[in-house]
C-alpha cells in the first residue's frame, strides 16, 4: 500500500482534460506502483509463472515415458529410392518399403506415405495406435528430399492423429494466462478493495479508469513473456512458423482480454480475498478439464465433447492449436477469434457495471 501511496503524492495540479482528468504522469506512477505490488506477491507469481512451467515439465515427462516410439513399419507410395532415403533419415531400425499404392501396404503398417498429386504435400495415413509416427516423419523430412512439403496426417479411422507437444504447449499457455487473470489479478483487486487502497486512490485527481487500467501493463508484459517462452519452445520443436507466430500473438491478445475480463469481474465483486483464492482454485481445474485444454475432449463422449468445445476457454485452446503445426482443432480459427472477442466484450461490460470500489456491503 505504501508503494501505491507514493504514486499519488507527486501529482501536482490537474492538466488539460477538464475536471477529474488524470494529472500528467499519473498513470505511469500508478502502473509502477501496481507492478511493484505484483512483484511483491510471491504466490501470484508462483501460480502464474512457475507452476505452469512445472506442470509443462511434468506433462512432457509423462508423455515421454508413455508415448510409443519407433521402430516403425512404413510404406511409401513411389520409388524404392525415396523409401531408402526415409529409412536412413529415421535411423531407428524402421522398416520402410516401397509400394505401388496405399492398398498394397502390409496390414501391420504403422503409416502409409503418399505424395499428393501436385507434389506440394505428403498424405500420411496412420494406425490410430501409432500416432507418434507422425512426429518421427516430420523430423525426418529435411533428410529425405521432401523438405518444405506440408504433412497431411489422418488416422485410418478418419480422425487426426494425436501429437503430444502441439497439444501440451497451447494448453500450458492457456493455464498460465488463466492463473495470471485469477491469482494475480482477481486476488490482487479484492485485496486492494478490502484494505481500502482503491477507495483511497479515488480521493486523488486520478481518473477511476486510470486507477484500474494501471494493473494491466505489468500483467500484459508478463503475458507477453509467457508467450515468448511458449513460442521459443514451439520454434525449437519445429511447431511454429513466422506467420503462425503472428497469429499466435493475436490469439494470445484476445485470450488475455477474455481472461482478464473474468479477473476484473471477480476481483471487482467478491468481498473476501480468501473466498477469491478458493473460488479461483476451484474454477481453474474445472475450466481446464472441462475445456479440453489439458485433457483431450476426445476422451469424453462425443455429444458432451461437442458441447464443451464451445465454451470460451476451449475456444481459446482451439485457436492456439491452429497456430502450432500438428495441432488438432475443432472449429475454424476465425470463428474461435470472433466468439472469444464477443465473450470478452460482454464480460468487460459486466465487469465495468458490477465493479465495487470497496468490499463493504451496501444497505
**E-assigned strand segments in the chain:** 73-77, 95-99, 111-115, 121-126, 150-155
Burial tier of 208 (Cβ tally within 10 Å: 0-12, 13-18, 19+) = middle
Is there a contact between 254 and 336 (Cβ–Cβ < 8 Å)? no
User: CA–CA separation, 182 vs 40, rounded Å?
Assistant: 17
| Block residue for cell numbers 455429444 | 303
Is there a contact between 11 and 205 (Cβ–Cβ < 8 Å)? yes
Where along the chain do its domains lie?
28-62+164-354, 73-155
Task: Give the containing element (helix H, strand E) for 289.
Answer: helix 273-289
Written as tens digits, the pLDDT of the chain (363 aa) is 434 444 444 343 344 444 344 455 677 777 777 777 777 777 767 776 777 777 767 776 666 665 666 688 888 887 778 788 888 888 777 888 888 877 778 878 888 888 876 667 888 888 776 777 887 887 788 777 776 677 788 877 777 777 778 888 888 889 889 888 888 888 888 888 888 888 888 777 778 888 888 888 888 888 898 899 888 888 887 788 888 899 999 999 999 999 999 999 998 898 888 888 788 878 888 888 888 887 788 777 878 888 889 999 999 999 999 998 778 788 999 999 999 999 999 999 999 999 888 776 654
Q: Which three three-digit cell numbers place residue 118?
A: 501436385
Q: Beginning with the edge strand found earlier in the chain, give each strand of the sheet holding 111-115 in spatial order.
A: 95-99, 73-77, 111-115, 121-126, 150-155
User: CA–CA separation, 306 vs 352, rounded Å?
Assistant: 32
Rg (CA), the chain: 25
User: CA–CA separation, 11 vs 32, rounded Å?
Assistant: 14
User: CA–CA separation, 281 vs 9, rounded Å?
Assistant: 37
Reference 75, options 132, 117, 131, 115; nearest CA is 115
Per-residue pLDDT tens over the stretch 288-347: 888 888 778 877 787 888 888 999 999 999 999 999 877 878 899 999 999 999 999 999
Reference 159, options 116, 191, 111, 126; nearest CA is 126
- Give the pLDDT confidence score for residue 13 in this predicted structure: 38
- Give the pLDDT confidence score for residue 361 in this predicted structure: 63
Q: How far apart are the first and last CA of the chain?
A: 28
Q: Which three three-digit cell numbers place residue 13?
A: 495540479
- Give the pLDDT confidence score for residue 6 in this predicted structure: 40
Amino acid at each position: 500500500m505504501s508503494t501505491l501511496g507514493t504514486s499519488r503524492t507527486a501529482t501536482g495540479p490537474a492538466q488539460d482534460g477538464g475536471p477529474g482528468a488524470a494529472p500528467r504522469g499519473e498513470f505511469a506512477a500508478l502502473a509502477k506502483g501496481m507492478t511493484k505490488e505484483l512483484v511483491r506477491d510471491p504466490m501470484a507469481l508462483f501460480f502464474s509463472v512457475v507452476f505452469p512451467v512445472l506442470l509443462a515439465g511434468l506433462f512432457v515427462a509423462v508423455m515421454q515415458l508413455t508415448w510409443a516410439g519407433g521402430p516403425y513399419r512404413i510404406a511409401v507410395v513411389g520409388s524404392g529410392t525415396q523409401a531408402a532415403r526415409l529409412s536412413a533419415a529415421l535411423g531407428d531400425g524402421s522398416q520402410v518399403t516401397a509400394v505401388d499404392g496405399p492398398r498394397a501396404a502390409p496390414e501391420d503398417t504403422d503409416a502409409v506415405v503418399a505424395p499428393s498429386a501436385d507434389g506440394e504435400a505428403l498424405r500420411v495415413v496412420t494406425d490410430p495406435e501409432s500416432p507418434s509416427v507422425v512426429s518421427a516423419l516430420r523430423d525426418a523430412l529435411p533428410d529425405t528430399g521432401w523438405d518444405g512439403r506440408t504433412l497431411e496426417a489422418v488416422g485410418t479411422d478418419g480422425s487426426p492423429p494425436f501429437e503430444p507437444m502441439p497439444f501440451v504447449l497451447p494448453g500450458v499457455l492457456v493455464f498460465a494466462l488463466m492463473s495470471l487473470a485469477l491469482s494475480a489479478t482477481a486476488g490482487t483487486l479484492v485485496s486492494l478493495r478490502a484494505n481500502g487502497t482503491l477507495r483511497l486512490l479515488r480521493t486523488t485527481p486520478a481518473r477511476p479508469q486510470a486507477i484500474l487500467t494501471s494493473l494491466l501493463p505489468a500483467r500484459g508484459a508478463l503475458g507477453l513473456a509467457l508467450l515468448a517462452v511458449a513460442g521459443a519452445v514451439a520454434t525449437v520443436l519445429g511447431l511454429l512458423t513466422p506467420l503462425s507466430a503472428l497469429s499466435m500473438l493475436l490469439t494470445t491478445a484476445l485470450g488475455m482480454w477474455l481472461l482478464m475480463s473474468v479477473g476484473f469481474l471477480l476481483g471487482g465483486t467478491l468481498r473476501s480475498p480468501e473466498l477469491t483464492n478458493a473460488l479461483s482454485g476451484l474454477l481453474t481445474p474445472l475450466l481446464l478439464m472441462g475445456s479440453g485444454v489439458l485433457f483431450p475432449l476426445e476422451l469424453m463422449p462425443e455429444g458432451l465433447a461437442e458441447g464443451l468445445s464451445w465454451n470460451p476457454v476451449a475456444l481459446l485452446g482451439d485457436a492456439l492449436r491452429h497456430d502450432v503445426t500438428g495441432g488438432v482443432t475443432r472449429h475454424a480459427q476465425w470463428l474461435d477469434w470472433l466468439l472469444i472477442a464477443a465473450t470478452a466484450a460482454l464480460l468487460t461490460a459486466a465487469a465495468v457495471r458490477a465493479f465495487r470500489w470497496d468490499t463493504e456491503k451496501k444497505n
